């Protein structure tokens, strides 16, 4: 028996024989220690990337990654690599993954790191971001990855697209008009998610900046092809309040779901004491899985 296996069994025996209150306290200590380790890891990351400039290359999960923005890289690394918000347990070695809102490709690198044989279709409409995504896939020699330079919406063709050229974007003119950021307007190609749901999809990742309900509603009759998904819901000024409608769609299609609110660094507004105003901004992760 290895030392690691013995240690795990010893901890298991001790925990089983502790009173319930002490077991809960022990779990709390372990969770606190894990949070401290993660905070230290992220602090070190912030120090390491301080000098990163647009176009710089860094290492991520053993891959070479060209970065378009230091803050964007930090957030992606924290959410995808440290907190593993897109992790799932595939039932086959070559899962089909639809990556809607690929940005510079860190989610694709993560999927390939976990499942080297994964088949991935990545969607990214931003003309300033897409070249980073393309280079990060090509220079790492990733096989089985198809990139689509288009936005997802309820129609095909050209649509108006508003973006900061880094990570923020929207298809909503009202959201653009109410934004205090220096976004630009352009026309981009648009495709429908339903066109890519003709076979079983193991995992659907959706971070499409407020278009999530529109896209899911348009694809509703084909959602039974999807086994598991993570949707980022955007509550931003100028966007319709569609959270309840998204959950109704998931419920109709027999998905069990839970809602996660990221962390205080990303999403401080959702922590107590609660307060909402017309200009409140927050994000939620909806994890959904068909269990039967």
Q: What is the mean pLDDT of residues 18-27?
A: 69
Res. 2: pLDDT tops 60:
no
- Cβ neighbours, 10 Å, residue 174: 12
Q: Are 221 and 180 in contact (CB under 8 A)?
A: no
Q: What is the DSSP letter of 266?
A: H
Average the pLDDT over each of 18-27, 55-64, 143-152 and give the range with the smallest value.
18-27
Give mean pLDDT, residues 265-270.
Answer: 86
pLDDT tens, 117-174?
999 999 999 999 999 999 999 999 999 999 999 999 999 999 999 998 898 888 888 7
- What is the distance, to the nearest Å, from the Cα of residue 223 to the centroid of all Cα atoms in its chain? 19
* Domain definitions of the chain by residue range: 17-48, 50-290
Scored b (16 or more CB within 10 A) or e, 18-56 reads eeeeeeeeeeeeeeeeeeeeeeeebeebeeebeebeeee
CA distance 253 to 27: 36
d(CA 50, CA 93): 37
Give the model confidence (pLDDT) of 82-118 as tens digits: 999 999 999 999 999 999 999 999 999 999 999 999 9
Cα–Cα distance measured from residue 280 to residue 96, given in angstroms and rounded to the nearest whole number: 36
Superfamily grouping for domain 50-290: Vaccinia Virus protein VP39 (3.40.50.150)
Mean pLDDT confidence for 209-222 = 96
Angle (CA) 207 139 127, round 5°: 45
């Amino acid at each position: 028996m290895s030392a690691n296996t013995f240690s795990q069994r010893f901890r298991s025996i001790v925990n089983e024989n502790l009173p319930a209150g002490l077991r809960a306290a022990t779990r709390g200590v372990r969770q606190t220690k894990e949070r401290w380790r993660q905070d230290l890891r992220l602090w070190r990351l912030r120090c390491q990337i301080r000098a990163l400039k647009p176009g710089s290359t860094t290492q991520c999960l053993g891959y070479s990654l060209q970065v378009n923005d230091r803050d964007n890289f930090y957030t992606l690394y924290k959410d995808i690599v440290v907190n593993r918000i897109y992790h799932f347990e595939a039932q086959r070695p070559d899962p089909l993954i639809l990556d809607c809102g690929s940005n510079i490709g860190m989610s694709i690198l993560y999927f390939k790191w976990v499942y080297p044989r994964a088949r991935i279709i990545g969607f990214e409409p931003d003309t300033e971001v897409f070249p980073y995504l393309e280079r990060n896939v090509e220079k790492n020699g990733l096989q089985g990855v198809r990139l689509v330079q288009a936005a997802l919406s309820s129609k095909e063709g050209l649509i108006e697209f508003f973006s900061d050229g880094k990570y923020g974007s929207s298809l909503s003119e009202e959201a653009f008009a109410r934004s205090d950021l220096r976004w630009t307007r352009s026309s981009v190609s648009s495709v429908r998610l339903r066109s890519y749901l003709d076979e079983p999809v193991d995992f659907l990742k959706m971070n499409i900046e407020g278009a999530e309900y529109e896209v899911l509603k348009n694809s509703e009759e084909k959602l039974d092809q999807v086994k598991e998904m993570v949707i980022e819901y955007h509550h931003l000024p100028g966007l319709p309040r569609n959270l309840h409608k998204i959950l109704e769609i998931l419920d109709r299609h027999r998905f069990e779901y839970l809602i996660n609110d990221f962390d205080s660094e990303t999403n401080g507004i959702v922590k107590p004491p609660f307060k909402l105003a017309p200009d409140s901004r927050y994000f939620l992760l909806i994890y959904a899985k068909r269990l039967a």
